[in-house]
Amino acid sequence: MSVYSKYADHILLNLLKEDDQLAYTEIFERYSRLLVNHAYKMTGNHDEANDVVQEVFLFIWNKRQELEITGSLSSYLYKATKNRILNHIAHEKVVSRYADSISNFIENDYVFADSKLREKELEAMIENEIALLPEKMREVFLLRKVEELSYDEIALQLNITDKTAKQQVYNSLKILRGKLKSALNVFVW
């Protein structure tokens, strides 16, 4: 048993900022199994859950010197894992939906020599615009449009009113439509 296992999280974080690999290892051992279980409940896939948690810990190691955690470490790790999963889900579902939409367009005798390139550019543009939404707005948008939760479910999960959830989705769609409208005109023609 390592002396690090007796340290509180805030001490481990301070040591981590000083490039202490043993502190990082202790944080990993302390939380990785719990985070994988949490991620598995959200994804339903062990490999994906492990990958997400690995990405979270890799991020923590790479950003260790700039890391500013105001609340508890466990809360930060759970939220980072949840956000990473939401981003993965959004990436897969949004890209899939728009790829299907573009494929349907192409199947209707509108074949472009560079359609695959345009498709990838559009996917990247959509992902980028979603990622640029303010954090709460993006979270509500992804829960509604990707997870397909009702406004009441979103309100309950995020501890907001259903009216706030509706307004966040409306605002995000307005932003996305505005930013993507001109880009879509270019892709269609």
Q: pLDDT of 93-151, one tens digit each?
A: 666 676 666 666 656 555 555 566 677 777 788 788 888 888 888 888 888 888 888 88
Span 47-71, average pLDDT: 90
Write down how long the chain is: 189
Q: Which CATH architecture has domain 1-81?
A: Orthogonal Bundle (1.10)
> Which residue would you say has higher pLDDT here, 122 or 66?
66
Is 112-189 in the same CATH topology as 1-81?
no
pLDDT value at residue 154: 87
Residues 167-187: pLDDT tens digits? 988 888 888 888 777 666 655
Q: 24-31 contacts: CB < 8 A, separation 24 or more? A: 24/57, 24/60, 24/61, 24/64, 26/2, 27/57, 27/60, 27/73, 28/57, 30/5, 31/73, 31/74, 31/77
Q: Which residues contact 161 (CB under 8 A, 6 or more apart)?
A: 155
Question: What's the topology of domain 112-189?
Answer: Arc Repressor Mutant, subunit A (1.10.10)
Q: Where are the domains of the chain?
A: 1-81, 112-189
pTM, two decimals, is 0.50
